[in-house]
Each structure stands twice: as structure tokens, then as C-alpha cells.
């Protein structure tokens, strides 16, 4: 078919009859690159061993009508005459579509205006483990606010291959900043590294040997059993999350555990590591462990197990930091040379204690509320207070708090922790009328209601507060 051109008078345009969408090429990949037409096993590749793909992931807004659709349609076409079973035709087992990557302010990034961030710039200035955590922790249903590129601030980057001042595309490397990346380092990576550094520094000073005979877990202090139980809980959560392709859940659980490890376990146990080994007299015999106090050794063995297991749990997310931790922790031991050659940790049910985890969580929640009350009242923790009073509607929760009253008192610097009979003993209520609601109904009486309501006996209005009237 020939059509006259409206733009160029006198010229004829010829229609190309067969036009292929380039996404068809992407959709046929599972067949075109995996020897689909060679219906026999080969030494290097057998098509049926690799089809369907376990996971396909790409940006959802741009791909659901392109790559995802072409994969489905071409898989249906290619296997049309072979089977009627949809399970045999599907090109992937799991599809993860995610939203867009934007700059820190929620704007699109473009090469044309210099706002697009290049990998070299982000990797060297923000850190590759930081980037991985940022992506994995992001809810795929929401746009990722990544960072900002400053095109007017060129920088020289120190890479493993040497200093560079240009990207591989020939553009000048510029300064990149990211508030989300800063938060990940502050809340996750730095506390993790500080926990590891704390252990290593004192382990070297004390000459800790991880091959020493283990102090039975049942003989260790409760806080040791708690952190080991939390470790099993994290292992359980991480395995389930990764198997469900739910990386954000795994990252959230890991971040919470790192906070527990750094801000609760290590902080509350520093003195056990500080105590000199020469003060120990509880062990006996000629074995190397005889010079160790059982409590101090239990602290080291507990923290060592936690850090070693944590390096394996987090290896898929932050491979470089965990590799450095792992290699130093197992140096000289009969262990795989890399954390990435280790099997993923399994849950040790004998160390999992959900009841202990729950009790400690109640204590931590009350301590957090206590610190907030101090902040609101501008009373620093170093200022001792006579009493902390609390109320709990749940008897089990109240019992847990009373069981650990000494821990709470120590955390909040109060002399005693006392349970109140009910919340009314701690809180005073003020009742005010809703003028917009009562005005049309009571008219001239509204002024009297407004004046008299605050004067009524709170006990008289208690049923109203409880929703009983």
C-alpha cells in the first residue's frame, strides 16, 4: 500500500506490512535462549530444567503491558499444541512488580537535566550494602525516594580500579546525597558494625577462644537465653519472608533485631565483658576454660553465636559487610572460607522461647514509654525518681512487668515500680461539651451545660467514658 505524504508533497510512503513489537523479542527469551527447539538434553543446558523461571521482577508501571504480557502470551502460543495444562505453559512461578525509583523529593530523574544518578556515583558515595538494604526494605507498592544528584558539584571517586572523574558513559561524576541512605546507615548498618566491633575488641583483649567448651544454654543468664531466642525468631521470620519473596518483611525483622542486640542486650551486659578474667574463680581444672568465669564466658559465647548467625542471615542482603564480619569471626576455624558458601541458618527449636520474647517485649515497651514521659517532663534519666506507677488491664501483662520491675527501675532510674489498681488512679479526665452537637438540641441551656459539666464528679461520668451509655 502506498500513501501520499502530507509532510513532503509528491512523495509516496510505503507501508511495511509486518511490524514486530520489540517486546516480543524479550518475551520469547525463555524459548529462544534456552534451546527450546532442541528436544533433547545437552551437556550444558536442558530447557525443561530451567522453565518456568522461579522469579521475574521489573518495574510494574512500565512492564505489565510489555514484558510481563509478552512473556505470558508467547508462552501460551509456543506451547499451544503441546498441552492444555496452564501450569505447563506459565513462563514464571512468581512475578514481583514494583513502583518507580524517584529522587529524594519524589521527582523523576533524567539524564537530560543531570539529575539521573549513575551507579558509580551512588555505589562509592552511599555504599553498595546501603543501596541493597534500601531496595530490599522498600515496599514495592510505593515509589522509592532514592536521593539527590548535584550536577554543579563534580567529585573524584575512589573506586577499586582507582580514582575516576567520569562515569562509563563519559559524564562527570558528581556529588550524591541521600537522606534515606543516611537513615539506613544510622539505624541499621552502624549499630550492626558497632555490635561486631564491641565483641571483637574485647574478645581480642581477653583472648576469647570460640572453641572452648560451651556453657550450657540452660545455665546462662536469662538475658542470654532471650537474645538467642530472638535470634531463632529472626531466623524463622527471615526464612519465611525470603521464601515468600517478601524482602521488606525480612529487612524490618532484621532491623528490629539489630536494635535489640545493640540497645538492649549489649548495653545491659557491658559489665560482663568488662570484668577482668583474673577475677574469675568459678571454673576449675586444667582445661583452657578453667581460667574463665562461667558468666563472662557465657556472655562471649552468646554474642559470638549471635553475630556469626546474623552474618549468615543477612548475607543475601548486605554481602560485603557480612563477609568481612564472618571471615574475621571464623578465622583459623574449620569453617567455609566465605559466608556465601554457608548454608542458610535453620531454627533451633530448643533455643526458641516465645513466652520469654513476649515478656521482654512488654518490659521494653514500658521502658520506651517511661523515657518519653521523662522527655515530655524534661527530666533527664540521670535524675533519680522515687516511683514509677503503671496500670495494665491484662493480668498477664501486669505480671510480666512486675516480674522484671528491677530491670525497669534500672533502665528508668527510679527507686521502685508500682502497679496501680486501674488507669483512673493515674489519669485525670476533663469533660467538655461538643458545642456543635449540643447547641441545636439544648439551645439556651448550652451555656449552663458548658459551665457545669467540668464540675461533675468524674465517677458519675465514668460509664460515659467507658462507652456504657
Q: Could you read off the pLDDT tens digit of each residue along the chain, which spans 469 residues?
A: 788 887 777 788 887 777 777 788 888 888 888 778 775 555 666 787 888 999 999 988 878 888 999 999 999 988 888 888 888 889 999 999 999 999 999 999 999 899 999 999 999 999 999 999 999 999 999 999 999 999 999 999 999 889 999 998 899 999 999 999 999 999 999 999 999 999 999 999 999 999 999 999 999 999 999 999 999 999 999 999 999 999 999 999 999 999 999 999 999 999 999 988 754 444 444 555 567 889 999 999 999 999 999 999 999 999 999 999 999 999 878 889 999 999 999 999 999 999 999 999 999 999 999 999 999 999 999 999 999 988 888 889 999 999 999 999 999 999 999 888 776 667 777 777 777 888 888 887 888 887 877 777 767 766 766 666 6
**DSSP assignments along 330-398, one per residue:** STTSSS-SSGGGSPPP---GGG--HHHHHHHHHHHHHHHHHHHHHHHHT--TTS-EEEEEE--SSHHHH
What pTM, to 2 d.p., does this model score? Answer: 0.83
Instruction: Output the nine-digit C-alpha cell for 49.
Output: 530444567
Euclidean distance between CA atoms 117 and 120, whole angstroms: 9
Q: SS3 helix, strand, coil % of the chain, rounded to 5? A: 55, 10, 35
Instruction: Give Cα 30 distance to the centre of its chain.
Output: 33
Q: Please name which of 81, 68, 58 lies closest in space to residue 26, comparing C-alpha atoms.
A: 68
Given a contact cutoff of 8 angstroms between Cβ atoms, the answer to whether 30 and 71 are in contact is: yes
For 154, 369, 406, 409, 418, the CA distances from 396, given in Å and listed in that order, are 60, 19, 18, 19, 16
197/190 Cα distance (integer angstroms): 10
- DSSP H or E segment with residue 9: none
CB atoms within 10 A of CB 62: 11
Q: Which cell numbers hold the place of 370?
A: 517511661
Amino acid at each position: 500500500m502506498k500513501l501520499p505524504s502530507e509532510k513532503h508533497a509528491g512523495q509516496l510512503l510505503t507501508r511495511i506490512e509486518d511490524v514486530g513489537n520489540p517486546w516480543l523479542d524479550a518475551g520469547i527469551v525463555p524459548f529462544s535462549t534456552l534451546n527450546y527447539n532442541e528436544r533433547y538434553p545437552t551437556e550444558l543446558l536442558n530447557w525443561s530444567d530451567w522453565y518456568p523461571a522461579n522469579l521475574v521482577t521489573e518495574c510494574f508501571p512500565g512492564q505489565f503491558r510489555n514484558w510481563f504480557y509478552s512473556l505470558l502470551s508467547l508462552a501460551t502460543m509456543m506451547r499451544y499444541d503441546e498441552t492444555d495444562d496452564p501450569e505447563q505453559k506459565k513462563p514464571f512461578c512468581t512475578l514481583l512488580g514494583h513502583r518507580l525509583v524517584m529522587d529524594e523529593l519524589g521527582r523523576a530523574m533524567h539524564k537530560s537535566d543531570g539529575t539521573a544518578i549513575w551507579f558509580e556515583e551512588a555505589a562509592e558515595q552511599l555504599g553498595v550494602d546501603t543501596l541493597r538494604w534500601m531496595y530490599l526494605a522498600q515496599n514495592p507498592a510505593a515509589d522509592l525516594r532514592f536521593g539527590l544528584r548535584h550536577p554543579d558539584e563534580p567529585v573524584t571517586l575512589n573506586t577499586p580500579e582507582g580514582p575516576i572523574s567520569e562515569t562509563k558513559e563519559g559524564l562527570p561524576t558528581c556529588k550524591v546525597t541521600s537522606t534515606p541512605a543516611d537513615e539506613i546507615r544510622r539505624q541499621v548498618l552502624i549499630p550492626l558494625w558497632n555490635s561486631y566491633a564491641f565483641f571483637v575488641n574485647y574478645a581480642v583483649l581477653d583472648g576469647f577462644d570460640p572453641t572452648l567448651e560451651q556453657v550450657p544454654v540452660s545455665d546462662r543468664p536469662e538475658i542470654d537465653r532471650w537474645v538467642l531466642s530472638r535470634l531463632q525468631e529472626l531466623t524463622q521470620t527471615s526464612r519465611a519472608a525470603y521464601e515468600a519473596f517478601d524482602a521488606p518483611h525480612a529487612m524490618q525483622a532484621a532491623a528490629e533485631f539489630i536494635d535489640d542486640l545493640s540497645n538492649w542486650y549489649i548495653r545491659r551486659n557491658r559489665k560482663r565483658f568488662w570484668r577482668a578474667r583474673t577475677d574469675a574463680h568459678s571454673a576449675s581444672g586444667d582445661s583452657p576454660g578453667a581460667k574463665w568465669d562461667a558468666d563472662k564466658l557465657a556472655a562471649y559465647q552468646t554474642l559470638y553465636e549471635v553475630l556469626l548467625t546474623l552474618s549468615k542471615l543477612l548475607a543475601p542482603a548486605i554481602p560485603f559487610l557480612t563477609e568481612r564480619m564472618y571471615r574475621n569471626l571464623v578465622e583459623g576455624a574449620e569453617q567455609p572460607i566465605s559466608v556465601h558458601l554457608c548454608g542458610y541458618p535453620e531454627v533451633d527449636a530448643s533455643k526458641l522461647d516465645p513466652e520469654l520474647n513476649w515478656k521482654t517485649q512488654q518490659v521494653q515497651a514500658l521502658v520506651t514509654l517511661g523515657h518519653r514521659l521523662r522527655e515530655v517532663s524534661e527530666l533527664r534519666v540521670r535524675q533519680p525518681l522515687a516511683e514509677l506507677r503503671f496500670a495494665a488491664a491484662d493480668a498477664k501483662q501486669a505480671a510480666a512487668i512486675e516480674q522484671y520491675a528491677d530491670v525497669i527501675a534500672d533502665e528508668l532510674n527510679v527507686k521502685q515500680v508500682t502497679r496501680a489498681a486501674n488507669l483512673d488512679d493515674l489519669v485525670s479526665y476533663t469533660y467538655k461539651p461538643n458545642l456543635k452537637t449540643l447547641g441545636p438540641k439544648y439551645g439556651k441551656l448550652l451555656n449552663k451545660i458548658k459551665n457545669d459539666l467540668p464540675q461533675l464528679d468524674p465517677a458519675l461520668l465514668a460509664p460515659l467514658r467507658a462507652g456504657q451509655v
